[in-house]
């Protein structure tokens, strides 16, 4: 049964809005009879029976009201009824739809007695959130944000979807500017707050990573009484984060990383096919487990997830065992075979979901940790890292030693900023440069041969995901796909 998330009366009580139905028959009271199994802000993904919230973002959600009801919305949270609202469609009228969504979120939180975990950081938020979804599952019902829903509407939307009986909930909280995390963490009021890492991202809005650390530390301002802070022990701003967690009244502080002082410490890591084998020391005791996502950075993320699971009252052993079922989210290190036009297979490491210097370095190291089959090469296809401010050229150029250390054989770059890396890369590594990702795809495809491992990464706006799509499409004309069709 999914109809039980919000009844009309509960939603009205939460928001103080008015239940009405445009032109509806007052004798049928339809405006007050609905129940919603979910909350949606996007008619493209809205499922039958969900409540549609008409937010104003790039477009005005009120323009999509008719479409929402055509797709089976049970009701809509709106500021007004546009002319094309279907006759009798149940509405919940509020002065401000985003405020209404926040009200739903607050009410959802107040009626849930589970433990809430909030995750922020310069990289690894979605990864840690997905690890927690997996790790907590054996200990109770888990609710976690969809995708990267981590901003001023994503966080309240995720919270408004919180089932009353979920025992654990996990929320990703992001930011581009100082002050943005504060209202979101106060809304979630987490029992456990995680900072995955602090690194160079959005530098153009901040100037220094210390200011980024300050902004991330806002997450502790929302901690529930008795709450726990989970901190990256290896980070250069650890001392600052610790101070801010203490000042905010965190009752318990747990650390993770490779530092000998870390409470959840990575002792040994080995890449293992599509995942990694981890040996850890957890509060002084040894713990070995496997995670289904490759990369040392993901191993460290998994220790943050285990620390949070422990702080939320789950069993560490059960959580660690469950992590073998974790898979990298779209574009975050997933590995798959692609079928080459001239026969044979190459391995694609899809890191195309966004990039900053920390995640770029992690992805290059991940490529270095994988051994190509005989005759194969390590191929890096890199798009620009954006929003880095005046240091951007240097931050691109500085990746050259990492490429050498990872044993990269072929380097392809797209975009003007990547030119700075291109110039620093060894001549024998340089395979191709173009001003845009689209201009690179043909050359990469023509170059690939059986046994190659190709890693693709760049900021979302660099559009390197387009190259991933082209490589995935190759399979459709490859020998395996043809065999399947016969
Ligand atoms: N702790 C980390 N340090 C460096 N890079 C990381 C870390 N965790 C994840 N990444 C990489 O950063 C990118 C984004 O990961 P994701 O988990 O989606 O982070 P976020 O949600 O914070 O954007 C991926 O390429 C991923 O492999
Ligand atoms: Mg994310």
5-36 tens-digit pLDDT:
999 999 999 999 999 988 766 666 667 889 99
- CATH 3.40.1190.10 domain extents, the chain: 112-325
- The residue contributing the CA closest to ligand 1 atom 16 is 124
- CATH 3.40.1390.10 domain extents, the chain: 6-94
How far CA 131 is from CA of 98, 212, 290, 308, in Å, comes to 29, 24, 12, 11
Report the distance separating Cα 326 and Cα 290, nearest Å.
9
User: In angstroms, what is the C-alpha Rg of the chain?
Assistant: 24
- Topology, domain 6-94: 3.40.1390
Mean pLDDT along residues 123-151:
96
- Whole-number pLDDT of residue 255: 98
CB under 5 Å of ion ligand 2: residues: 125-126, 148
- Whole-number pLDDT of residue 153: 97
Q: What angle do CA 197, 172, 63 make, to 5 degrees?
A: 140
Q: Which atom of ligand 1 is nearest to the CA of 301?
A: 1
Q: How confident is the model at residue 384 (pLDDT cuts 50, 70, 90)?
A: very high
Mean pLDDT along residues 424-451:
95
The pLDDT > 90 percentage for the chain reads: 84
| Mutation pick for ligand 1 pocket among 119, 134, 332 (CB with most ligand atoms within 8 Å) | 332
- Topology, domain 112-325: 3.40.1190
Please give the mean pLDDT across all residues of the chain: 93
C-beta 465 within 6 A of ligand 1 = no
Q: How confident is the model at residue 4 (pLDDT cuts 50, 70, 90)?
A: confident
The model's pTM: 0.88
Q: For the purposes of burial, counting CB atoms within 10 Å of the CB of 247, is it exposed (0-12), middle (13-18) or buried (19 or more)?
A: exposed
Question: Residues, the chain, total?
Answer: 486
pLDDT above 50 (res 480): no
- CATH 3.90.190.20 domain extents, the chain: 334-483
Mean pLDDT along residues 444-453:
95
pLDDT above 80 (res 476): no
Q: How confident is the model at residue 342 (pLDDT cuts 50, 70, 90)?
A: confident
Q: What is the pLDDT of residues 244-265, one digit of tens each?
A: 999 999 999 999 999 999 999 9
Q: What share of the chain is helix, strand, coil (3-state, %, to 5)?
A: 40, 20, 40
User: Largest Cα–Cα distance of the chain, in whole Å?
Assistant: 80
Q: How confident is the model at residue 481 (pLDDT cuts 50, 70, 90)?
A: very low
- Whole-number pLDDT of residue 58: 85
Q: Which overall architecture, per CATH, does domain 334-483 show?
A: Alpha-Beta Complex (3.90)
C-beta 127 within 6 A of ligand 1 = yes
pLDDT above 90 (res 486): no
C-beta 299 within 6 A of ligand 1 = no
Q: For the purposes of burial, counting CB atoms within 10 Å of the CB of 134, is it exposed (0-12), middle (13-18) or buried (19 or more)?
A: buried
């Amino acid at each position: 049964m999914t109809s039980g998330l919000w009844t009309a009366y509960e939603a009205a009580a939460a928001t103080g809005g008015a239940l009405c139905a445009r032109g509806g028959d007052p004798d049928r009271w339809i405006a007050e009879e609905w129940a919603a199994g979910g909350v949606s802000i996007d008619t493209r993904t809205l499922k039958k029976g969900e409540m549609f919230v008409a937010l104003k973002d790039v477009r005005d959600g009120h323009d999509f009201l008719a479409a929402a009801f055509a797709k089976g919305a049970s009701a809509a949270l709106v500021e007004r009824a546009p002319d094309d609202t279907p006759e009798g469609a149940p509405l919940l009228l509020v002065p401000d739809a985003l405020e209404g969504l926040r009200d739903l979120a607050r009410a959802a939180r107040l009626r849930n007695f589970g433990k809430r975990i909030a995750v922020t950081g310069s990289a690894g938020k979605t990864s840690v959130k997905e690890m927690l979804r997996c790790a907590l599952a054996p200990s109770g019902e888990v609710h976690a944000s969809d995708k990267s829903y981590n901003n001023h509407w994503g966080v309240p939307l995720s919270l408004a979807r919180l089932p009353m009986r979920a025992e654990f909930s996990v929320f990703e909280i992001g930011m581009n500017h100082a002050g943005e995390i504060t209202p979101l963490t106060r809304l979630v009021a987490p029992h456990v707050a995680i900072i995955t890492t602090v690194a160079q991202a959005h530098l153009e809005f901040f100037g220094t990573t210390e200011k980024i650390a300050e902004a991330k530390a806002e997450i502790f301002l929302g901690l529930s009484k008795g709450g726990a802070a989970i901190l990256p022990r290896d980070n250069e701003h650890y001392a600052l984060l610790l101070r801010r967690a203490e000042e905010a009244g965190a009752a318990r502080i747990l650390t993770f990383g490779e530092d000998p002082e870390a409470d959840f410490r990575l002792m040994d890591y080995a890449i293992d096919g599509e995942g990694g084998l981890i040996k850890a020391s957890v509060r002084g005791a040894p713990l070995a487990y496997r995670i289904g996502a490759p990369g040392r950075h993901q191993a460290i993320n998994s220790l943050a997830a285990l620390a949070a699971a422990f702080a939320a009252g789950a069993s560490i052993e059960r959580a660690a065992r469950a992590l073998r079922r974790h898979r990298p989210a779209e574009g975050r290190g997933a590995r798959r075979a692609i079928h080459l036009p001239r026969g044979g297979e190459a391995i694609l490491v899809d890191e195309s979901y966004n990039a900053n210097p920390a995640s770029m370095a992690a992805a290059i190291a991940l490529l270095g940790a994988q051994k190509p089959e005989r005759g194969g090469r390590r191929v890096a296809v890199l798009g620009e890292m954006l929003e880095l401010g005046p240091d951007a050229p240097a931050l691109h150029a500085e990746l050259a030693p990492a490429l050498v250390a990872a044993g990269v054989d072929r380097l392809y770059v797209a975009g003007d900023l990547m030119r700075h890396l291109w110039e620093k890369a060894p001549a024998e590594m340089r395979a191709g440069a173009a001003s845009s990702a689209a201009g690179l795809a043909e050359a990469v495809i023509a170059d690939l041969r059986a046994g190659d491992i190709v890693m693709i990464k760049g900021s979302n706006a660099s559009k390197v995901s387009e190259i991933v799509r082209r490589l995935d499409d190759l399979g459709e004309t490859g020998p395996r796909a043809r065999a399947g069709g016969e």
